[in-house]
Amino acid sequence: MKEEILNRIKKLGGNVNDVKRISLQKDLESIRFELVLYPKPKEVPWEIGENTPIHGIKEFIEENKNLLEVNKDTFYSKLVTHYYKDTEENFGQVFFKNDLFTPFEEGTDDFEEWDGEWDENDFKKVIKGDEMKLMFIGYSYGFPDNLFVCLSDPDKENPTVYGTDHEVYFDEITVQGTLEEYFNSFLTKEELIEIIDKKLK
C-alpha cells in the first residue's frame, strides 16, 4: 500500500502501526480506527445548514454558542469529541471495516451462504482482478452503503474501490475511485475545524 495512503489514514485518526507491507489483505486487516469518518463537502461553498455532510452541526453550534464566544479552542475540542467517536447515531459518517467477503471461494461461510446467487464472471465485468476475493473497507448511511476492494487488484499499492448498496447487493457495482482517492475524500479533524471556522467568521 502506498505510503501516501498510510499517511492519510494516520491523519484521519487511524492506526497503521501493525502494517508490515506484506500484502494488500494483511495491510488492510492491520488498520485500526476507533472513530468514524466524515466525507468532505462536495458543494463549495459549504453552508452550515440542513444539507451539511455532518448532521446536526448547525444545532451543535447553536447549543454551544456561548462556549464558542468565550473559548473557541474548547468549543472545537468539544465538537470533535462529539462527532469523532465510534457511534452508530447517524451523523452522516462512514465506518471503516476490514471484513473479508469470499462468495466464490468454496469452503468459506460466504460461499455457503451465497453460492448460486451471482455469477463470478459478472463481477469480473466491473471488478479488476483474477480472483473475486473481496474486502469490505467501509459502511455508510449514504449510497452506496458498502465499499470494498478486490484483493487480487493488479495495483496492490493503490487498488480500485467499488461500491454496492444493500438494495441492489452486488447486482449493481460501481467504481468509486482509487484507495488513495477514497481516504482523501474524508475530513480530518483539523480540516473540519478549518471549514467551520471560516464559515463562522
DSSP string of 13-49, one letter each residue: T-B-TT--SS-HHHHHHH-B-SS-B-BPPSSSSPPSS
- Mean pLDDT confidence for 160-187: 97
Q: 104 and 113 in contact (C-beta within 8 Å)?
A: no
- Mean pLDDT confidence for 9-30: 97
- Mean pLDDT confidence for 137-147: 94
- Rounded to whole angstroms, the maximal C-alpha distance in the chain is 62
Q: Which domain range does residue 8 map to?
A: 3-27+92-184
* Residue 87 is assigned to a structural domain of this protein: no
Q: What is the pLDDT of residue 199?
A: 82
Phi, psi values for residue 101, rounded to 5°: -135, 110
Q: Does pLDDT of 11 surpass 80?
A: yes
Amino acid in the structure at residue 90: N
Q: Does pLDDT of 49 surpass 80?
A: no
* Residue 40 is assigned to a structural domain of this protein: no
Provide the domain count of the chain: 1
* Residue 48 is assigned to a structural domain of this protein: no
